[in-house]
Amino acid sequence: MTQLTEEQHKAQMESMAAFDTQMPCVGIFWYDIQENSFFGVRKKELTPKMAEEAAEKGLPFINYPQLHRQVWAKEYFRAQAKNEESKFSGDYTKIPHGRIAWNINKFIVLVGHWAEPIQDKLSELIEQEFSLPYFEFVYDKHWDLGHGWLGDMK
């Protein structure tokens, strides 16, 4: 049996690193209509093992572990402290936003009805940003403009 030297092993690992792309992700985003781009993206890779383990535990729904309001507040105060211009100002629910989750053998994109007329554009951005092989849009009023977490911005 032949064994790689330390140098050969290192070269092999470096060569394989070029093939290492992002796994599909769950996460959250805001959509900038004028720039046709996302901002404030937060994501977490999801492996098949993670999905299988969750299903075995009876938890087939996998979500990103932060709320939009939490990320918005953190970015708002960071910009204030640094005296910087920021997209994170005002009411976060007035900006188109959404969530990517895993639910029983498929990725779902939770968005408001704001997304219906631009679903094709949005699909391309989602595929690229979250490395999703397939997904389904799920429209809900919670994600409509002006709606958010209960009790927000009152």
Average pLDDT score over the chain: 89
Q: How confident is the model at residue 24 (pLDDT cuts 50, 70, 90)?
A: very high
Tokens representing 70 are 């939490």
In the chain, what are the domain boundaries? 21-143
Burial of 148 by CB count in 10 Å (0-12 exposed, 13-18 middle, 19+ buried)? buried
The stretch 21-30 carries a mean pLDDT of: 91
Residue with the larger pLDDT of the pair 60 and 74: 74
Distance CA 36, CA 129 (A): 13
| pLDDT at residue 25 tops 70 | yes
The stretch 13-40 carries a mean pLDDT of: 86
| pLDDT at residue 19 tops 50 | yes
DSSP string, 86-135: -S--S-GGGS-EEEEEEESSSEEEEE-GGGGGGHHHHHHHHHHHH--S--
Tokens representing 110 are 């939770």
pTM (2 decimals)?
A: 0.82
Amino acid at 78: R
pLDDT > 90: percent of the chain? 64
Burial of 99 by CB count in 10 Å (0-12 exposed, 13-18 middle, 19+ buried)? buried
Would you state the pLDDT for residue 22? 80
**Beta-sheet pairing, 61-62 with 97-103:** antiparallel
**Beta-sheet pairing, 107-111 with 136-139:** parallel
Q: pLDDT of 74-129, one tens digit each?
A: 999 999 999 999 999 989 999 999 999 999 889 999 999 999 999 999 999 999 99
- Phi, psi of 42, deg, nearest 5: -130, 135
Q: How confident is the model at residue 154 (pLDDT cuts 50, 70, 90)?
A: very low
Q: How confident is the model at residue 153 (pLDDT cuts 50, 70, 90)?
A: very low
Tokens representing 61 are 């729904």
